[in-house]
Amino acid sequence: MLHAEHITCGYGGDPVVRDLSFSAQSGQILCILGANGCGKTTLLRAVAGLLPSTGSVTAAGLDLRTAPRRQVAQTVAFLSQLSNLYFSYTVYQTVEMGRYAHRSPGLFGGAAPGDKDIVRSCLEQTGLWELREQPITALSGGQLQRVFLARVFAQDPKIILLDEPTNHLDLKYQIELMEQLRRWVAQGNRCVVGVLHDVNLALNYADQLLLMQDGRALCQTDTQALDPALLDRVYGLDVRGYMRRALQRWE
């Protein structure tokens, strides 16, 4: 579904990500793990076309570097970490924006058939239907993150790119979000690529892991086949030992 080859990118001429390649398969969630500063978000922004890079990216057979922006928006959706810059639209209006890529060309393209049903379904999936008339400026950080996730679902892409999607979410909604993503990819011809800090979430919900270190790919592996020693190497600590000590609190 998604193939990134030899990606190099950075800021001010200094590379942060160096000659990195990976792929994500249909029906799967790929989580990118690594220590702070290793280039996870930079890589995701380059794949999304938000940061200049060298190399190539294809999504569902589409060359993201050369394809028309409307076609790209119908194929790939990107959800970043929360920004402090947003307008006072209602929850419903914000989610409805996800449908723009599917409307007739032009600034004033009308709503496509079924838009209202799609928007309502996305709001209900994310537990936001009762808040649909609320301005997004009145929401908590967790509620706002769910609004933006609902907008991504409304966009109906084939591939979702997520940068720390569980930020600002309490434990209940972190689990619900990951469960929603699992159901979404299971509907066929879809995949998710997400940057996560929570190793437990990644191990519980990802099909594949991309481990990064110093701007490079250390390895890409099936989650079940992961060598735990690689996590120790990436994070510079005994990850298994820490997890076992934490588990003892619940025994």
Q: What is the mean pLDDT of residues 15-19?
A: 94
| Model pLDDT, residue 104 | 62
Query: What stretches of 25-134 adopt beta strand conformation (E)?
Result: 28-33, 53-59, 62-63, 76-79
Q: How far apart are CA 184 and CA 91, in angstroms?
A: 21
Indicate whether 177 pLDDT > 80. yes
Predicted confidence at residue 166, as pLDDT, reads: 82
Q: Which of 81-95, 184-198, 235-249 has the lowest mean pLDDT?
A: 81-95
Taking alpha carbons only, the member of 157, 177, 158, 159 closest to residue 168 is: 177
Q: Are 184 and 190 in contact (CB under 8 A)?
A: yes
Tokens representing residue 54 in the block = 């060298």
pLDDT in tens, 35-74: 999 999 999 999 998 889 999 999 988 998 888 888 888 8
Q: Torsion angle, CA of 56/61/65/70, rounded to 10 degrees?
A: -160
12 pLDDT tier (thresholds 50, 70, 90): confident
| Distance in angstroms (rounded) separating the CA atoms of residues 45 and 48 | 5
Considering the entire predicted model, what is its pTM?
Answer: 0.89
**3-state DSSP assignment of residue 74:** helix
CA distance 236 to 211: 13
159: left (phi over 0), alpha (psi -120 to 50) or beta: beta
pLDDT value of residue 250: 87
Cα 52 to Cα 65: distance, rounded to the nearest angstrom: 10
Check residue 169 and give its pLDDT: 81
209: pLDDT strictly greater than 90: yes
pLDDT given for residue 55 in this prediction: 94
Q: What is the mean pLDDT of residues 199-204?
A: 92
Q: 110-160: per-residue pLDDT in tens?
A: 566 688 999 999 999 888 999 999 999 898 888 888 899 899 999 999 999
Predicted local confidence at residue 107, as pLDDT: 47
Calpha distance 33→43 (Å, rounded)? 12
Tell whether the model's pLDDT for residue 189 goes beyond 60: yes
User: pLDDT tens across 77-87, in order?
Assistant: 998 876 555 67
Determine the Cα–Cα distance for residues 55 and 52; give it in Å rounded to an integer: 10
CATH superfamily of 2-250: P-loop containing nucleotide triphosphate hydrolases (3.40.50.300)
Summarised one tens digit per residue, pLDDT across range 93-110 is 999 999 887 866 554 555
- Give the phi and the psi of residue 109 in degrees, each rounded to 5: -60, 135
Task: For residues 167 and 91, give the distance between their C-alpha atoms in angstroms, rounded to a whole number.
Answer: 19
Contacts of 171 (CB under 8 A, 6+ apart): none
Query: How would you class 184 by CB atoms within 10 Å of its CB: exposed for 0-12, middle for 13-18, buried for 19 or more?
Result: middle
The three-point CA angle 239-242-243 to 5° equals: 85
Q: What are phi and psi of 60, to 5 degrees?
A: 50, 40
pLDDT score, position 215: 94
> What confidence tier does 7 reach under pLDDT thresholds 50, 70, 90?
very high
Specify whether the CB–CB gap between 195 and 40 falls below 8 A.
yes
- Residue 53's pLDDT is 92
